[in-house]
Amino acid sequence: MLGLNNKDLRLFIIVICLTVFAPFILNPFPETSELAQFNAGYPDLMQRFIIFGIFAIGFNILFGLTGYLSFGHAAFLGVGSYAAIWMMKLLTLNVIPAILMSIVFAGLFAVVVGYISLRRSGIYFSILTLAFAQMSYALAYSVLTPITGGETGLQIKATDTPLLSNLAEGEIGRANLFGLDMRSSFELELGNWLFTFNAGYYIAVVFMLIAFYLSIRLFRSPFGMMLRAVKSNQQRMNYTGLNSKPYTLAAFVISGMYAGLAGGLMVAMDTQVGPERMFWTASGEVVLMSILGGAGTLIGPVLGAGMIKYMENIISKINDNILHKWFEFMPDGIEDFLVTIIHPFIGKGWHLTLGLLFMAVIIFLPGGLVELGQRIGRLFRRGGSKDTAAQSTPAE
Amino acid sequence: MSKSNVTRRGVLKTGAAAGAGLALPTILTAGSHSGFTNAPTGSTVTLGFNVPQSGPYADEGADELRAYELAVEHLNGGGDGGMINTFSSKTLEGNGILGKKVEYVTGDTQTKSDAARASAKSMIEKDGAVMITGGSSSGVAVAVQALCQEAGIIFMAGLTHSNDTTGKDRKANGFRHFFNSYMSGAALAPVLANAYGKDRKAYHLTADYNWGYTTEEAVVQATEGMGWETVNAVKTPLTQTDFSSYIAPVLQTDADVLVLNHYGGNMINSLTSAVQFGLRDKVVNNKDFQIVVPLYSRLMARGAGANVKGIFGSTNWHWSLTDEGSKAFTKSFGTKYGFPPSQAAHTVYCQTLLYADAVNRAKSFNPCAVAEALEDFEFDGLGNGKTLYRGADHQCFKDVLVVKGKENPTSEFDLLEVVEVTPVAQVMYEPDHPQMGGAEATLGSCNPGA
Amino acid sequence: MEALILQILNGLDKGSAYALIALGLTLIFGTLGVVNFAHGALFMIGAFCAVTLQRILSISRETIDETRTDFLGNPLKVDIPYVYDWFGADAGQMIINWSVPLAILFSIPIMMLVGVIMERGLIKHFYKRPHADQILVTFGLAIVLQEIIKAIYGANPIPTPAPAALDGSFDFGVLIGMENIIYPYWRLIYFAFAMITIAAVFAFLQFTTFGMVVRAGMADRETVGLLGINIDRRFTIMFAIAACVAGLAGVMYTPINSPNYHMGMDFLVLSFVVVVVGGMGSLPGAVLAGFLLGILESFASMAQVIAIIPGINQVIIYLVAIIVLLTRPRGLMGRKGVMEE
């Protein structure tokens, strides 16, 4: 079905279910419990999971298949974002043209950067992409302020009157899809549970599913095979008379367009852009996401993206106050002791937790989270059959 | 489909609606609640404290958080009440806000606008915060202010000094207590002219981003008004750590004043380099060479160590002020934490009190009612003398402090001394001043959300 | 002319920092084959060795000065460092002021130890793993190390001035008959220190048996192993030496910029650019590229240059990197086949 083999189809269906039912899955704890702190089922974070998922899927097309490690992918995300917000400021508040424009602009920028950077390989390629991204960041922050808004970035303001949108005088435009506000939500209350279904989230999900489907097809296509050949031995490939450059460039541009799509969606969900989006740490983050989840696998990067964003948004919000509430039932001495022990790892210490987790995953799970899934899968399957779970099918 | 950001989590949390078993799925409609985002329904109200906890301004964020916790304690009737006792408005009685106990959530802005918005959104969408406050940079303040405008939440800015926050990027739902670049320039210029003479040639080094631009513009205009000449203004990258190659050329010009439009780590490093290059020992045009830092903070002064001695700058507030409000705040903060509060701590404490008081006076948490109560509100007793929250741009107008690095500090917190308290009349400007976005800048209309 | 000379001095000074970090990175990469993203963190730890020594020397006893009051109106507590008691106030203060130079000695054993622990405890297990894994695990380590420092010392920069005798500036102009070429002593010391360190590392590799084996290991690790030489232990020592170079560079850098917990990350990306521009695996390349980029960066920050090309000071390093890599495929002095897959 859909041109997918059974295993891929199963994976695709699992992803569909996961994303569609995410509002339930991510909100396992009732609102009244102290554990509600760990719920991630609110629109903004769910949107971020999806958007960074797309970003990581795109990055993985380049890195997972060809082995080219781009250290400047955030630049495409940034360019896509700027293109999208200018579309919204000037043409229409409908998100579709904005997202299309972000893909186009990111794609064009990727052609330029890719054409130059792909003349080198290995770490030389990485540094070239890094250099382009850092230049984009530095210029967007400073001398390009008239176009990018500089430090304070760009938002949609009351003075913006897009050509095709009829806004009342002084009304601040809102991103919409043919009139459907991205931020409108439907809330379902079941006992003590509260589930939020957000319009923007589901629009992002549609884009993500398309992106994911395309990436499966790409992984399984002759083109994908060719890219893998580049990874395993580019020299041998060149000896056979094949010029690998058009293939890698195509992969680079596709990957850049995915980043642009992610950037466009970010603007569609939350209409603002700032230059930090292009800083090298943002590029580094997507590398971490891919490797953490399992580079070269279909689902890995999405898991990695989810994990990093979860840490960033949930762990950083836990403070001592909340800790004290958790351990309230314990005797005072033990309560204070536990709070003191945990204190360095939460709130402002979330980076520390993240760093430790990275190290743990890399040391013990070289295949990333996907490998963890495989190991758990094997534990549950008697006899350890050769058939690995669909969710953990590596590309190679 | 309802068009709302309103959550009913407040309801659920207080158990008011916690029915047994499965309640029927309900579709929220705009009519089913009080008409604005995150209207508090239970016996508590949640505020969102969004401060930098990682990145270069983490220490400033930590100090802001301390002040917020203190403010919440005082609002809920704990501690010694701090500035509630000296505040000219007497609606705060230690019983929370409108009788509701104040609770809070915290988040990390990382001093990045994306992260700050993500954190603010989670406070709005997940925790049901009815007001967001905090931040330690103008980029973040402008980004979060715009978000709060869209979501229908009140934003009480923390430390943000760029003109843009209440200038070209002003928003109806956003309020700033902190002073700005224009005021720094206007307050500093006369003091500088007095101390260093009217015939001076200034060389500016400016951080290459919005705050740097507005500060440079403000200081250049104000000092040129006093008769100074601007020799050159060079932009330095934000990511620069070693400023030697920007400092050294100053020696080659006939400038006799160096103005460092830098903040945080940039300022610490550029000032250190300037002192190392012997600028302060130089005599140019028969005058002693001088260095000026338009915006000071205690943390910066600490980082730069002995280099700040005798250097002029401006600041929003300083704990050594002797009015009743400042004394009360310094006392309760110092007693709780063991050291005096910074200006960042002071401004966020004031913002929390001002918000709480505005809600009490408006008798509603509705952002539009709160905004109306804050607009053109005149108050006293919060440490800066008589203050006006101007309705036209939501900027506070109050006296500005001109300070100087202290020669003989008694402790690591006693680094600045107040040279002059510039009266508010001198730093006043029209809401459509060209530096503040001109006639184009508009607040828009207040947005209550739902 | 004077302006140009000054900028060359500035460039050599910035270049010293770049070159020292790049040298350490290349030593580790060249000998162990590991891309060490925690190298910036080693630089940072070195700087905090100086801070720590300053703190240790200033350990104080508290006395109460009844004549003055603190901010709450209580009698002022005055901290009197124990060194004042032992050596008298003047000599004691002098010892504290000299904490940065003293930290050079203090930091060597610490950095050696950190290096050995890092190599034996973590890096060793990553020799056979892909470069991507090495990058990730060392990056994770870098985050952990900097967060630990942040938890102890806070996020604000900590002033660590050079001793007063070395803190002034020096008028070069007098020597060469020009005006206004004033340069801080400490920056000159930093440059001299960098040159000595670089020379020492090269001499060590060139003229000692140990260095010879390591160089052989860099060229062909397997063969050296087959010859029955215990290359592993030498690699551990090499790592410790590289950590030391980074740490010392950090100690010496503290009077130039007040150290903060993220200074390592600030330098990390730049130093990688330097290493790659110099050519992966080439020690002379790393040094050359460090000074080249330092000098170009200094020139690009001159007001006259910015006036012609706005924003050039923002991008110069990356622009040069792109130009170099496009004209010379493996950087200035890179070897073929190193990190090219």
> Which two structure tokens, joined as six digits, stand for B62?
């930590």
Phi, psi (deg, nearest 5) at residue B201: -115, 120
What per-residue confidence (pLDDT) applies to B1?
A: 37
Distances (CA, A) of B115 to A47, A307, B59, C44: 14, 16, 18, 26
Residue C300 within any structural domain of the chain: yes
Residues 6+ apart with CB under 8 A from C272: A127, A130, C25
Q: Using a CB-CB distance cutoff of 8 angstroms, which residues of chain B are in contact with residue C260?
A: 56, 265, 303
The band of B259, judged by pLDDT with boundaries at 50, 70 and 90, is: very high
Under an 8 Å CB criterion, which residues of A touch C? 67, 69, 116, 119-124, 127-128, 130-132, 134-135, 138-139, 141-144, 234, 280, 284, 287-288, 291-292, 295, 344, 349, 351-352, 354-359, 362-363, 366
Residues from chain C contacting residue B273 (CB–CB below 8 Å): 256
Rounded to the nearest integer, the mean pLDDT of chain A is: 88
Place of tokens 């943002």: A282
Chain A residues within an 8 Å CB radius of B142 = 152-153, 155
What integer is the mean pLDDT of A58-68? 92
Average pLDDT over residues A324-350: 85
Nearest CA in chain A to B6: A185
**What confidence tens digit (pLDDT) does each residue in A24-38 have?**
999 888 888 878 888
- CATH class of domain segment(s) A6-282: mainly alpha
Phi, psi of B127 (to 5 degrees): -95, -5
Copy the structure tokens of residue B56.
Answer: 């270069």
Suggest the residue from C124, C149, C276, C327 to mutate for an interface test with chain A (most A CBs closer than 10 A). Answer: C276
pLDDT digits (tens, 9 = 90+) for B164-203: 999 999 999 999 999 999 999 999 999 999 999 999 999 9
Note the pLDDT of residue A1: 66
Q: Is A139 on the interface with B (CB under 8 A)?
A: no
The secondary structure of B245-282 as a DSSP string is HHHGGGGGS---EEEEE--HHHHHHHHHHHHHTTGGG-
Q: Enumerate the H helices of chain C as residue ranges.
A: 2-32, 39-57, 82-87, 89-97, 99-121, 131-153, 164-167, 173-176, 185-207, 209-219, 221-226, 231-253, 263-278, 283-300, 303-308, 312-327
pLDDT digit string, tens, across residues C34-56: 889 999 999 999 999 999 999 99
Look at A128 and C325 and tell me if their CB atoms are within 8 Å. Answer: yes
Smallest CA–CA separation between C329 and chain A, in Å? 7
Contact B198, B180 (CB under 8 A): no
Q: What is the pLDDT of residue B75?
A: 95
* CA–CA distance, A67 with A76 (Å, rounded to integer): 19
> Taking residues B245-261, what's their average pLDDT?
91
CATH of domain B182-315+417-427: 3.40.50.2300
**Same-fold call for B9-179+320-393 versus B182-315+417-427:** yes
Residue A264 has pLDDT above 70, yes or no: yes
Contact B153, B40 (CB under 8 A): no
> What is the band of A326 on the pLDDT scale with cuts at 50, 70, 90?
confident
The tens digit of pLDDT for each residue in A193-206 reads 888 899 999 999 99
- Whether A130 has a pLDDT exceeding 70, the answer reads yes
Structure tokens at B371: 């905004």
Q: Which pLDDT band holds residue C341 (cuts at 50, 70, 90)?
A: low
Which residues of A fall within a CB distance of 8 Å from B118?
44-45, 48, 312-313
Hey, of C325, C326, C332, C338, which one would you mutate to test binding to chain A, going by the most A CBs within 10 A of its CB? Answer: C325
**What is the largest distance, in Å, between two alpha-carbon atoms of chain A?**
75
Q: Could you give the CA distance from residue B328 to residue B314 in angstroms, rounded to a whole number?
A: 22
State the smallest CA–CA distance between residue C6 and chain B in angstroms: 7
Give the closest residue to A68 by CA, choosing from A216, A223, A220, A230.
A230
B248 and chain C: CB distance < 8 Å anywhere? yes
Whether residue B137 lies within 8 A of chain C, CB to CB, comes out as no
Chains touching B (3+ CB pairs < 8 Å): A, C
CA dihedral (C100, C102, C106, C107) positive or negative:
positive
> Pick from C140, C141, C330: which is nearest to A124 by CB?
C330
- Taking CB atoms and an 8 Å limit, are A181 and B114 in contact across chains? no
Question: How confident is the model over C329-340, as a mean pLDDT?
Answer: 78
Which of B241, B319, B413 comes nearest C257 by C-beta? B241
A139-156: average pLDDT: 90
B330 with C71: Cβ contact below 8 A: yes
B contacts of C257 (beta carbons < 8 Å): 241-242, 268-269, 272
Which of A67, A119, A356 comes nearest C144 by C-beta?
A: A356
B149 touches chain A (CB under 8 A): yes
Task: Give B-chain residues touching A351 at CB under 8 angstroms.
Answer: 54
Compute CA distances A375 → A365, A384, A391, C125, whole Å: 10, 10, 12, 21
What is the model's pLDDT at position A383? 53
How many Å lie between the alpha carbon of C262 and the closest alpha carbon of chain A? 12
Tokens of B418: 């107040």
Residue C333 lies in a domain: no
Contact B57/C3, CB-based, under 8 Å? no
Chain C CB contacts of A143 under 8 Å are 310-311, 314
Residues of chain C contacting A122 with CB distance shorter than 8 Å: 339-341
pLDDT digits (tens, 9 = 90+) for A300-315: 999 999 999 998 998 8
**Mean pLDDT, rounded, of chain B:** 88
Say which residue the tokens 């300053």 belong to. Answer: C54
* Structure confidence by residue, pLDDT tens digits, B102-157: 999 999 999 999 999 999 999 999 899 999 999 888 999 999 999 999 899 999 99
Residue A123 with chain C: CB contacts under 8 Å: 35, 131, 276, 280, 339-340
**pLDDT value at residue B24:** 36
Q: DSSP labels for C78-102?
A: EEEEHHHHHH-HHHHHHHHHTHHHH
What per-residue confidence (pLDDT) applies to C337? Answer: 67
Query: What's the pLDDT score for residue B28?
Result: 39
Report the distance separating Cα A249 and Cα A205, nearest Å.
Answer: 28
According to the model, what pLDDT value does residue A395 have? 42
Give the pLDDT mean for B309-315.
94
Contacts B–C by Cβ distance under 8 A: 132
Tell me: pLDDT of B96 over 70: yes
pLDDT band at B23 (very low <50, low <70, confident <90, very high): very low
Put simply, the answer to whether C159 touches B304 (Cβ < 8 Å) is yes
B271 within 8 A of B292, measured Cβ to Cβ:
no
Pairwise CA distance, residues A115 & A185, whole Å: 43
- Percentage of chain A beyond pLDDT 90 is 47
- Do the domain assignments include residue C141? yes
DSSP 8-state assignment for residue B155: E
Tokens of C247: 């740490």
- The verdict on a CB contact (< 8 Å) between B56 and C262 is yes
Inspect the interface and report whether the beta carbons of A362 and C140 lie closer than 8 Å.
yes
Cβ contact (<8 Å) for A128 and C322? yes
DSSP string, A9-76: HHHHHHHHHHHHTHHHHT--S-TTSGGGGG---SHHHHHHHHHHHHHHHHHHHHHHHH----S-THHH
CB contact under 8 A, C315 and A130: no
For domain B9-179+320-393, the CATH class is alpha beta
Token output for A175: 């991103």
CB atoms within 10 A of CB C237: 17
For residue C313, give the nearest of B237, B307, B331 by CB distance: B237
All chains having 3 or more CB pairs closer than 8 angstroms to chain A: B, C
Q: What is the pLDDT of residue B65?
A: 94
Q: Does the pLDDT at position A135 exceed 90?
A: yes
How confident is the model over A213-239, as pLDDT tens digits? 999 999 999 999 888 888 887 777 778
Distance CA B130, CA B39 (A): 7
pLDDT surpasses 90 at C225: no
- The pLDDT of residue B29 is 36
| Residue extents of the structural domains in chain B | 9-179+320-393, 182-315+417-427
Residues of C in contact with B246 (CB under 8 A): 301
Nearest to C141 among A119, A139, A359 (CB): A359
User: Which helix (H) or strand (E) is A143 found in, with range?
Assistant: none
What's residue A319's pLDDT?
85
Structure confidence by residue, pLDDT tens digits, C132-157: 788 889 999 999 999 999 999 999 99
- Counting one residue from A and one from B, how many pairs have CB atoms under 8 Å apart? 178
- A155-164, B15-24, C325-334: least confident range: B15-24
CB distance B125–A44 less than 8 Å? yes
Q: Which amino acid is at C180?
A: N
Q: Where are the alpha helices (DSSP H) in B126-232?
A: 138-151, 181-196, 210-225
| pLDDT, greater one: A52 or C339 | A52
Distance CA A5, CA A7 (A): 6
| pLDDT at B8 exceeding the cut of 70 | no
Strands C75-81 and B154-157, by their bridges, are unpaired
- Closest C-alpha among B88, B93, B89, B63 to residue B77: B93
- CA B168, CA B164: separation in Å to the nearest integer? 5
Q: Which of B4, B6, B12 to mutate to test the interface with A (most CBs of A within 10 A)?
A: B12
Q: Which residues in chain A have their CB less than 8 angstroms from residue C341's CB?
A: 67, 121-122, 234
Residues in chain A: 396
CB contacts, 8 Å: B244 with chain C: 10, 13-14, 187, 256, 298
Query: Measured between CB atoms, does C325 come within 8 Å of chain A?
Result: yes
C79 pLDDT above the threshold of 90 = no
Token digits of residue B9: 């989590």
| Number of folded domains that form chain C | 1
Cα radius of gyration (chain A): 22
Which chain A residues in 176-195 lie under 8 Å from chain B, judged by CB atoms?
180-181, 183-192, 194
- State pLDDT tens for residues A282-294: 999 999 899 889 8
Residue C101 tokens read as 């130079």
Q: What is the pLDDT of residue B34?
A: 61
For residue B388, what is the enclosing H or E element? strand B387-389
In this prediction, residue B7 has a pLDDT band, given cuts at 50, 70 and 90, of: very low
Q: Where are the domains of chain A?
A: 6-282
Of the candidate ranges A223-232, A384-393, B435-444, C148-157, the one whose mean pLDDT is the lowest? A384-393
| Global pTM value | 0.91
Size of interface A-C (CB pairs under 8 A): 121
- Res C193 pLDDT > 80: yes
- Segments forming the whole domain that contains residue C225: 6-327
Residue A334: the pLDDT is 87
- Determine which of C299, C301, C304, C318 to mutate to test the interface with B (most B C-beta atoms within 10 Å): C301
- What is the rounded average pLDDT of the residues B207-215? 92
pLDDT tens digits along C270-291: 888 999 999 888 889 999 999 9
Give the minimum alpha-carbon distance from A270 to chain B in angstroms, rounded to a whole number.
8
